[in-house]
Structure 1
Amino acid sequence: MDTESLKTNVTSGKHWLRLVYMLLFAVLLYVAGLVMGVVIVLQFLFALLTGSPNGNLRQFGESLALYIYRVLEFLTYSRDDKPFPFSDWPDATVPSSSTAPSSTAPRRKTRPRAAAASSNDKSAPNKEDQNNTGDDHPRN
């Protein structure tokens, strides 16, 4: 890189303006993290007291998580468009039932990366796969 292009980059207003936006979004990210902590505690208390999570809190938590993700994308130069309040708030879609999981696909136990990397024969199921019943609790 020659000194002329370096001088042009350093004196360019767009980089310094982005720094101002980055500082603003760093503060918003901190506040969003605090709000997410409050949502987590409230959701736990709600589930503890009523037996099921609150659908509105779940939807807000999901949209807040999407907002945090978009802020991080902007801060890491993964995207150039600025998140809320310079664009729309991210819309989270949550199932209508307050007790339904966010995904209908069953979760499967996976092996740790080290074990998966050391296993060369992918066609033969291992003992863990044969004993996997789909849930984490022993049967009575």
Structure 2
Amino acid sequence: MEKMTEKSIQKNEILVRGLFMLFFIVIYSISKFMIIGVMLFQFITILLTEKPNEQILKFSNGLGTYIYQIIQFLSFNSEQRPFPFSKWPDGMQTHIESGSSDR
């Protein structure tokens, strides 16, 4: 009986993760268009002012890290759910926590 309950709990966890994965696939698709928009805006800004917009640099750095976190979650390299289930990333990370402790 206990093994059956344990298996159903594991199956439920996998199904819940699958739902989160579908959610993050949609977010990933949207974020690709955001990167293009940020890139074009920054390019036009540099053409007009000859210097990059600092706020856009910070935002695009965070967005790049966010996309990285989504890919890590979708590829099972991380169990940590990205934003909005955790804090928005400040910028590039040198290390992301992995789902297993032996890495």
Q: What TM-score, normalized to structure 1?
A: 0.58
The Cα shift of 1:92 comes to: 2.4
Which whole-Å CA distance do the structure 2 matches of 1:22 and 1:12 have between them? 15
Instruction: Give the aligned residue type for 2:67.
Output: I
Name the larger-Rg structure.
1
Which whole-Å CA distance do the structure 2 matches of 1:27 and 1:39 have between them? 19
Instruction: List structure 1 runs of 4+ shifted beyond 3 angstroms.
Output: none
Greater relative contact order (CA < 8 Å, ≥ 6 in sequence): 2
Which whole-Å CA distance do the structure 2 matches of 1:45 and 1:86 have between them? 33
| Cα deviation 1:48-95 (Å, max 9, x = unaligned) | 0100111110110000000000000000000001000000000128xx
Match in the other structure for 1:70: 69
Identity %: 33
- After superposition, residues 98-137 of structure 1 pair within 5 angstroms as none
Match in the other structure for 1:15: 14
CA RMSD of aligned residues (A): 1.6
Unaligned runs of 5+ in 1: 1-7, 94-140
Indicate the structure with greater helix content. 2
Match in the other structure for 2:24: 25
